[in-house]
Structure formats: C-alpha cells, structure tokens
C-alpha cells in the first residue's frame, strides 16, 4: 500500500499516511513544502470530502490505497 487512511481523534476527520516512497512523492507533489512535516508525521487530518478527492486523484495516479470501510 502506498497510502493508508485512518480515523483521527476528531470525529469526521481522517488521517492519510504514506507507506512507500511513491506515497511520499505523491503527497509532496500535492502540498506545499511547509505542510510536508505534518503530512509525513501523521499529523494532518482531512474531512471526508477532501479525502475522497485526494484518494480519487491518487488512484488515477496508480497508487495503491488502503481505506477502511466505515459502517
């Protein structure tokens, strides 16, 4: 898996974690350098809508994603 999602401590927000160099490079190409530390240290959280857009783009780029199904 290149990117893995998980729920955060805040309801309705999700984390996106890079698991491979491909995931890291993809994140770096989508966010400014000032955000990289938070992204690479699992500190950035995204709303479900935002995460859906990011994951859609990542899939189109050929990345492998693990996104748990919510009940």
Taking only the tens place, the pLDDT of each residue in 39-52 is 999 899 999 999 99
Query: Confidence band (pLDDT; 50, 70, 90) for 67?
Result: confident
Return all residues near 30 (Cβ < 8 A) that are at least 6 apart: 54, 57
pTM: 0.87
| Residue 4 · residue 58 · CB < 8 Å | no
Higher pLDDT: 42 or 28? It is: 28
According to the model, what pLDDT value does residue 68 have?
A: 74
């Amino acid at each position: 898996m290149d990117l893995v999602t998980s729920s955060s401590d805040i309801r309705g927000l999700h984390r996106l974690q890079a698991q491979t160099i491909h995931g890291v490079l993809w994140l770096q190409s989508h966010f400014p350098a000032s955000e990289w530390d938070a992204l690479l240290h699992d500190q950035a959280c995204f709303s479900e809508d935002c995460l859906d857009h990011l994951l859609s783009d990542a899939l189109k780029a050929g990345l492998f994603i693990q996104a748990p199904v919510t009940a």
